[in-house]
Amino acid sequence: MRESRFTLLDLFAGCGGMTRGFLGEGNFIGVGAVEIDRTAAATYAANFDVDGRHIFAGDIAGYTDVPRADLVVGGPPCQGFSALGRRDPADARNQLWREFVRVVRESDARMFVFENVDRFAKTPEFQLLRQTASEDGELADFDTQVFRLNAADYGTPQKRIRTIVVGSRVGPVDEPRQTHAKTPGGDLDRWVGLREAFLEGPVVLEPEVRETWLPESLVEFQGHDIPGTFKLRDLHITRNYDLISEVRYAHIAPGKGRFDLPDELQYPCWRRHTRGAGDVLGRLQWDEPAVTIRTEFFRPEKGRFLHPQWENGGDQVNRALTHAEAAVVQGFDDRHLWCGTKAEIARQIGNAVPPPLARAVAHVVAARLAS
């Protein structure tokens, strides 16, 4: 294999989870990124583009100065595709993949990696993307491969299944090699659980947290003052919960959820719904990976986001994950810096591609580009 570095263009870059994984592989160099959300773009810049020169902080439709790149990666917003979204085919966000195709063409890329939610593979947009890369399409010289990958299989402490479409003009890639499994064996380690991730990593995230505010600090990004730059430890902050919420959380053991609340503690609106949404008010488990983290992980009412520490009548932590814990669940380490308010950073974390998953894809892509 030739020793070379490949140029990378990251579209819908968010806080840069995808770029973090690709740069971690060592053979890639970022030459461009596009992100409409200014604070996410500031986070990206703080990590990968300190001069703010190669990030285009705007709508991809206005991105015309496209550099040449070996590889274009990107994951447009998933709300239009996700089972949780409205699944409206007319949703303008579903058209964003067309912009992706345009940039792939204009950059003269040899390969592309398109990332999205699991159910993307069942949408009309997925069919269109594949048609685009078929005989008469705009990307006719590309062949596509589709992988359905679980971030937990690549050492991320989270079960998060993603559809990855790899397009190539230079031949196929191997399936990214799994390093971890639910049941270990051979050269596969056991999935990373939360105990290992929070308590045995380079930054220990103590269960006991009192701080609720980010430090007061501003950073200038393209003429705007933005909260930041924050380190992982700065994000280990909680919220002020009301007493009744804490009483509810105290009833929920690891692996359990709102169905385990006594009747008098059920929310009135829930009483009528005795089925579905079993993850609501769910508590995570110390020795399992987390479930899929979303942008509102800090609200226990939105999913299985309660901290795993719970002993019956004993030591209990009755709060949702902190931002730092959620970032670690997404596979970020303490090298990654963050910009934005608490809600903005939560969105960046929840939207990211786990860097370890991106890195596994980067490995097979780099091998093909180098061949």
**Would residue 78 show up in a list of annotated catalytic residues for this protein?**
yes
Q: Is 17 in the site for ligand SAM (CB under 6 A)?
A: yes
Contact with ligand SAM (CB under 6 A) among 6, 8, 9, 13:
13
How many residues bind ligand SAM (CB under 6 A)? The answer is: 21
Contact with ligand SAM (CB under 6 A) among 12, 22, 114, 249:
12
Identify which range of 34-42, 146-154, 272-280, 287-295 contacts ligand SAM by CB under 6 A: 34-42
What is the three-class DSSP state of 368? helix
d(CA 53, CA 45): 9
Contact with ligand SAM (CB under 6 A) among 235, 351, 359, 361:
351
139 vs 100, 119, 193, 222, CA distance in Å?
A: 11, 23, 41, 34
* Shortest Å distance, C-beta 268 to ligand SAM: 35
**Which H or E element spans position 323?**
helix 323-329
Site pattern 96..135 for ligand SAM (x: CB under 6 A):
x---------------------------------------
Considering the complex, state which of residue 20 and residue 248 has its C-beta at the smaller distance from ligand SAM. 20
Site pattern 35..74 for ligand SAM (x: CB under 6 A):
xxx--x------------------xx--------------
Considering the complex, state which of residue 18 and residue 366 has its C-beta at the smaller distance from ligand SAM. 18
What is the three-class DSSP state of 11? strand
Indicate the burial class of 26 (C-beta count within 10 angstroms; 0-12, 13-18, 19 or more).
Answer: exposed
**From 15, 78, 269, 339, the catalytic residue:** 78
Phi, psi angles (nearest 5°) of residue 93? -65, -30
* Shortest Å distance, C-beta 316 to ligand SAM: 33
Contact with ligand SAM (CB under 6 A) among 32, 75, 227, 300:
75
Q: What is the DSSP letter of 67?
A: P
Q: By the 8 A CB rule, do 12 and 81 touch? A: no
Q: Is 167 in the site for ligand SAM (CB under 6 A)?
A: no
Phi, psi angles (nearest 5°) of residue 46? -60, -30
Identify which range of 9-17, 158-166, 170-178, 254-262 contacts ligand SAM by CB under 6 A: 9-17
Residues with Cβ within 8 Å of residue 54, at least 6 apart in sequence: 30, 31, 32, 33, 67
Contact with ligand SAM (CB under 6 A) among 15, 205, 235, 345:
15
d(CA 328, CA 231): 12
Count helices and strands in the chain by DSSP H and E runs:
10, 14
Region 187-216 residues binding ligand SAM, contact defined as CB under 6 A: none
What is the three-class DSSP state of 116? strand
Residues lying near ligand SAM in the complex (CB under 6 A): 12-18, 34-37, 40, 59-60, 75, 77-78, 96, 351-353
User: Would you please indicate which residues are annotated as catalytic (active-site) residues?
Assistant: 78
